[in-house]
Amino acid sequence: MIPLISHRGQTCVFAYCKGQAVSVAQYLCDVRNLAATLPDRSHVLNLCADRYRFAVGFAAALLRRQISLLPPNYTNSFVAKLQQSYPELYCLTDEDSQFDEMEIVRYPNLPQTDGVLHDVPLIQADQSAALVFTSGSTGLPVAHLKTWGSLCRGAASAASRLGVEQGMAVLGTVPAQHMYGMESCMLMAMQNGLILVAGRPYYPLDICEQLAALPKPRCLITTPLHLHYLLAEMPSMPEVEFVLSSTAPLSPQLAIKAEACFAAPVYEIYGCTEAGMVASRRPVQGMAWQLMPDVSLRQDESANFVSGGHIEIEARLGDVIEVMPERQFLLHGRTADMVNMAGKRTSLASLNFYLNEIPGVMDGVFMFPDESQDRARHLLAFVVAPNLKKDDILSILRLKLDAVFLPRPLYFLDKLPRNATGKLTAQALAQLMAECR
């Protein structure tokens, strides 16, 4: 049995909601009151945008032994597929949501605590807690079942690696419905006595203001994309204990700039939906990744696999990995993204790195022209660079890339179709390419 939360007392602050502190006692009261109102179903789609309400809904579902679904998107077509796979699915939301033939439960106005102290619920470690889906960045989303025990062990492992302390406020720019957002912004807080922040700021000024409003100690959980835009507009930021980034590789240049801006260490998490958090690093200290405690990495002729610790089922990694001594490794890009052209070899991750480090490039991505065509023909790229011209970018790339890897053609866009966590799904890229060609 694992407790729902690990805060030291019921008068402790559990969350900040619109600047107001919410106690542990109030949270436990809200969880029990909401659990009593939920329909008798087996699966719930928790779409609460407010992170505190999401945490209440997630815990209430646990008490009712309901499994929370965390899909990569909420389009009507994908939700319809979920309904076919999980007929007892209903939706819990704090915003207007309409899905055909699905019961919608609006997050209710819950009463203030009546002063009665509720015991912290104990949840069976092997209880099924969530179905998390891959992002679809390399194909169709795939569901993976997570138990309460695996989620809690992962949160404890991350907290140990980051050296968090009780009472630290956790501000996140990533949604709770994403595996990284749920692990780092919610579960790490619940399982280590931290304070979650209900809001999810998006714009740089909002992030800065919400951080400044939080008491110390505090940290920021974000993505490379959010960091990129944040640092482009804000020369300095409020003091934090650390910044944590994930969902895409963080360039050394951006990490150095972020550490200078925050005057704090910037850490990076490497993980996947299948395994959760696998390793971490501080990019300014080197590009090698350090495995999380009790996690093991093995290689065979075909792939790389991780197991142990919070990973209950050995998971295959979709990346090219170079194993190093002392439980470290280097990443060389995704297996499916390796590029072989004219006898030369690189990866899309490497090409994207060189493209995005060009001064004036706000965002950019290389891709194969069409998966049904011969990949050896040529590559293309999309770039957001309002003050640059094609020749400006190509002249810099020629100094760093072999000519066979130069993009032909290079498309300029106002923005790339990234999702809420900054990822570009295979479907979004395919649609973008179809529109541009």
Q: Which residues lie across from 328 on neighbouring strands?
A: 290, 324
Given pLDDT bands bounded at 50, 70 and 90, which one contains residue 138? low
Residue 369, pLDDT above cutoff 90:
no
pLDDT at 424: 78
Residue 362, pLDDT above cutoff 90:
no
- Cα–Cα distance, 35 to 60 (Å, whole number): 4
pLDDT at 372: 45
Phi, psi (deg, nearest 5) at residue 127:
-70, 135
Q: Give the domain 342-436 fold.
A: GMP Synthetase; Chain A, domain 3 (3.30.300)
β pairing state of 379-384 and 363-367: antiparallel
Average pLDDT estimate for 287-299: 93
- Cα–Cα distance, 236 to 263 (Å, whole number): 9
Residue 377, pLDDT above cutoff 80:
no
- Work out the percent of the chain whose per-residue pLDDT is above 70: 94
Residues 6+ apart with CB under 8 A from 332: 319, 320, 321, 322, 347, 349, 350
Asked whether the bond before 224 is cis by omega within 30 degrees of 0, the reply is no
Given pLDDT bands bounded at 50, 70 and 90, which one contains residue 336? low
Given pLDDT bands bounded at 50, 70 and 90, which one contains residue 133? confident
Taking every pair of Cα atoms in the chain, the longest distance, rounded to a whole number of angstroms, is 73
Q: Measuring CA to CA, how many Å separate 249 from each of 269, 282, 331?
A: 9, 12, 10
Determine which of 12-21, 106-115, 322-331 has the lowest per-residue pLDDT on average: 106-115
Q: Which residues lie across from 15 on neighbouring strands?
A: 22, 196
- Cα–Cα distance, 367 to 351 (Å, whole number): 9
- Pick among 3.30.1370.110, 3.30.390.30, 3.40.50.12780, 3.40.50.720: CATH of 2-331: 3.40.50.12780
Residue 180, pLDDT above cutoff 60:
yes
Average pLDDT estimate for 413-418: 88
Given pLDDT bands bounded at 50, 70 and 90, which one contains residue 136? low
Average pLDDT estimate for 306-318: 91
- Cα–Cα distance, 264 to 271 (Å, whole number): 23
Instruction: Parse the chain into domains and list their residue ranges.
Output: 2-331, 342-436
Q: Measuring CA to CA, how many Å separate 224 from each of 50, 173, 228, 245, 269?
A: 22, 11, 6, 6, 11
Residue 333, pLDDT above cutoff 90:
no
